Structure 1
Amino acid sequence: MADNVLSFVVDAALSRVVSLITDEIMLAWNLKDDLKGLRESLTMIRAVLLDAEEQQTKREPVRLWLKKLREVAYEAEDVLDELAYENLRRKVEMQEQSGSEVNNFFSFSKGTRYVKKAALHVKMAHKVKNINELLNKIKNEAMGYGLQVVTKDRIMPQIDLDRVTDSVLDDPVVGREADVSKIVNLLNCSNDQQVLTIVSIVGMGGLGKTTLAKLGCQEVMEKKFFDLKIWVCVSDNFDDQRILGEMLQTLNANMGGLTNKDAVLQELEKALEGKKFLLVLDDVWNEVSKRWDDLKTRLVRVSRNTGNAIVVTTRSEQVASIMETSTHYRHTLNLLSDDECWSIMKERAFGNGEASIPLDLECIGKEIAKKCRGVPLAAKVLGGTMGGFERDKEAWLSIMNSNVLNSSDNKDNVESVLKLSFDHLPPFLKPCFAYCSIFPKDFDIAKKELVQLWMAEGFLGSSIQDEGNKYFNALLQNSFFQDVLRDEFENIIRCKMHDLVHDLALSLTKSETLTLENCTAGDEISSTRRLYVDRQNATTLIAFSKRDAKKLRSLFIKEIVFDGSWKLKRLRTLNLEGANIKSCHLQLAS
């Protein structure tokens, strides 16, 4: 699946070749013929790439061919970037030399400069020729495999990138009124004779457990059942100190830096004194009862009032049985009806302001809704994709007739829906989405920072900020982003990704992105181009420090000491937030 974004890498290399092939300096370097050869190979490879992606699951040689192509395409892009940089540097140097006598006085002697330039010329010419030979070989292999040029009638319809309105960005909540009432009643009936009552919400991914928890908590807080509400996203890192620390930080932002557990407990006890609290532990995976017992013991210790409650959302019945007060306090979330799924899809596709929907489109839409199999996330994502086509009947039919949506298993069907919507994204959006796999699950993604990361990777066009905002909104429209946070001017500043959406992004880049979720001992990291390191996978940092990490393009190091010698020759993004840098040497140039 990682090869779905390969076409963008090939396109980027091809675009760079086209811009360099007529340049005066490149002509002076006698690289025109080699660059033309690169252009020819890349153009032919790009033409058969979609056919290769479709055949890779059936033909092992084609899968291996794509793997080789991925490596060479990245290498070609790096070499061409280096060539473009040297081209730009030469032009700036020529301008400075022509306009400044002082620059000439302090620069190398003319003879030294000539030798260095000649050596660089030979080096770059060799790199270009080597890439040319590799790509030519790969092109010939493609012809041997009988790969076909994909004609326009086989290309899926693409979404309208400019169609973004506020009405389709808000998540519609349909068919959950009874569920909200049930949660509110359970919390209202929490036992005032005991310190903690635990209510669990159980269901498969994509059913809306988090949304239900939010709606239920909102209502009980409005009714003043509790004095305080605390929300902690747990995910697969069930660490009692982290959870207690985040609880304290929610109650007192100035206490976020405490690392001593006893100090955290003392401050929590002060903050909760005389208060009745509601704690939400969202997305819990831990099935080790001792971890829960340790946390519960500490929560009881800091809670002087009775009648407090905890809402737990989880996909696991085992987690619910470990944590809940009793099965009476468990709520299992059911699937939606086909009509409810169609209602969500209609909202996402047309918005609240749509007066009427053509009958033929409505019939098609209702058939597609059946394939959501009652999962609201699937309905939202498909609705966003269909909305991008506006009233294109053929595009809607292509979704309805897709064999991808014929899975009999609900979980597999949700994954199929997400993959289908990804396939319908414009090519330039695919790497932007796939890049988000570098963030951990449940991460608060800052929109401005994300656009800057896309910019550093070269994913955006010439109007960088405008393109970045447009790309972000398109992914949001398609429900690849959710849980947006806005500022006082209604501008989006942060968002998250649903776990299943994140899983898709990670599957697309599993051979290139190493993060907390897919990092295991013994992983082959030689092809890794994006690395996220923190305390949980710090051993990977050690592994990289012993190797040449020259292929890395993005490096995130969080909350661990960064001290070592690195060779980062292709680095485009370096994030050292909380890295406790003491001393290090980074080699960033080739």
Structure 2
Amino acid sequence: MSNIQAVLQVAEERQITVDMWRFWLDEVRDRAYQAQDVLDELGYEIIQRQLETQDSMKGKVCSFFSLSNPIAFGLRLTQELQKINECFDELREIATSYGRIVLSADTTPQPRRHSMTDSFFFLSEVVEGRGDDVSKIINLLISSCSQRVLSVIPIVGMARLGKTTVAKMVHREVKDRKLFDVTFWICVSDSFDDEWILGEMLLTLDKNTDGITGMDAIMTHLREELETKTFLLILDDVWNEDYERWKILKDCLLKISGNNRNVVVVTTRSRLTASIMESQTACSHELKQLSNNECWSIIREIVSRNGESIPSELEAIGIDIAKKCGGVPVVARVLGSMLFREKDKDKWSSIRDSDAVEMSRHYDQVLQLLKLSFDHLPSTSLQRCFSYCSIFPKDFEIEKEKLIQLWMAEGFLGSSVHWEMEDEGDRNFNVLLARSFFQDFQTDELGNVMCCKMPNLVHDLALMVTKSETVIQKPGSAIDGTFIRHLNLISSDERNGPTFLYDGRKLRTLFSRFLDKSWEFRALRSLTLNDARMTELPDSICRLKHLRYLDVSRTDIKALPKSITKLYHLQTLRFSDCGSLIKLPNKMEYLVGLRHIDFSHTPADVGCLTGLRSLPFFEVGQDKGHKIEELGCLKELRGRLRIVNLEHVRDKEEAKGANLSGKENINTLVFVWSSERESSSSSINYKDVLEGLQPHPDIRSLEIENYQGDEFPPWFLMPILNNLVVLKLKGCKKLPPAGLLK
């Protein structure tokens, strides 16, 4: 399996297009999925055995042919694994000979001296809408010159926005205005090597120094040339995210010139690169997408490059076509080149009304350039996380929390004794955000990203790299699911005719507003039925042994079937805004893998779900199963927790049962007393209860509503919450002394 994975990686890097080998690659992936499913079933069986043991069911006679029978299951599992191993043996033989072919070529990485940012030569270099960007960067340069330090100004933005073009305009203006004694332009790309970069600087100064090698010799010559001079160094297309590598280069640059009024300008797609290189906060310049009008200006200039005017009827269509650009200049240039010398109104209309642009040869070349960002992602886990985002429609607002839970369900995220799957998901999301794969993000008060969108061009890239495994289906059509792994039917409408799904046995993700009982799923990991017209889930839901994510929010479901407690691998269960859902089935504690639950009304006995990592809120009640002590067992909770109806907590000891002081991963707490609380209640109760709710010292945000106590507890007034960033008090009888809120 390791050998096959190695050949797979090489084949992917070489972008093999020969049909025979593409078929072989698809076969290997298919068998790998099957092997994963078999191992998953083994894990399911182990959990079932453990639960049966816990319930003292050993004396209960099982049918020999039942799934629960260990002998029958063992025989079936052995047969499945034997088939897969035989298939892998056959594929390994092919892989061995194939590997000789793809590995025989020279695989030694060669330093790339010319970035693909400059290789899009066949399009007009029309520049539009970047004058303000150039002016702002020039102003940053001038203000930086007054500081006696080495200043670094990153220009950051998604691929193909024109970072290199803007940097060239800055470079040209700097030379024209003679703002620096010397200017350097170095295209870095993969080659972030301090000795090579310094050597390129020396070559710029003196072409006769090509033979000089060694850091000491290069530095000696640079100091001789630059000791009394100021310089501007532009590093184009930087990918390095290692601070130590940047620090080595920075220290060398500081030693070169005693002037120290020098500036480095960096172009990068990575916000992380920008953050580790910028010399001070708010010094970087983020390149935004162009407006629709600016994109139309680029198209218009290319179309009318021969001095020909554009008829008004074509101009009206062209303005609409410009909206397809997504604010990306290179796409505007692609469209402009397609429309050049084209006078046929129908041709313009077809580009406006269809997906012709996505199918064009030039557009594919744009995506291949953009794919550099994908290829540079540092792990296969990150690449899988990115490509999975193609399941969402264009311009869809993606919730970060849901996305990470879906990544978990697909098995993209690992865990260890040092971090959890959610931690890796958070890191992966931040890397994709930093590399401009996401945009239009919204944050909470703590700066945490809550939701975002994908640029249209990036979404097209995600679809390209999924290799047809992901489909967003249009309404009222038939689907052959033979090779589909991820299917989105949310946009489908039953009024437009039913959607026929042929062979959904390989599906791992399904988003739908209806569930046909004839559909057969064997490998489903994620099932989203938001807004589905349904009042119940079938008992057969228990057959989805691999299911890890289930969302039935905003449906009319009245009850969840008892069989749902057999979904031992289930990690996320969402049933918010289900007004008809009264209670959950018994034995929910059987869901030993459940980590996230989302609802509108707190179910009873939530404390039995000891593996929960997130809980939207908790309604305190007086009945058994609703008391605040339920929270005490939930030791793994993280993120935000809202506790309401605190008037039902009697005293400090009962409040301490929630053990909030021991929940170090919760960063936001909200305490709410009902505003209808009887005025005759003792204020001592308020203070005692709040004292028992003392949070962990690492809490960052605290909100308290309708607190009617005359005093605040000691933990509130003492310097215990040193990490607190946000404090909100609403409807409280009194406020704490202002001097204590430091």
Tell me which protein shows more helix as a share of its residues.
Answer: 1
Q: TM-score, normalised by structure 2?
A: 0.40
In our comparison, the structure showing a higher alpha carbon Rg is: 2
Q: TM-score, normalised by structure 1?
A: 0.49
Q: Which has the higher contact order (CA 8 A, sep 6+)?
A: 1
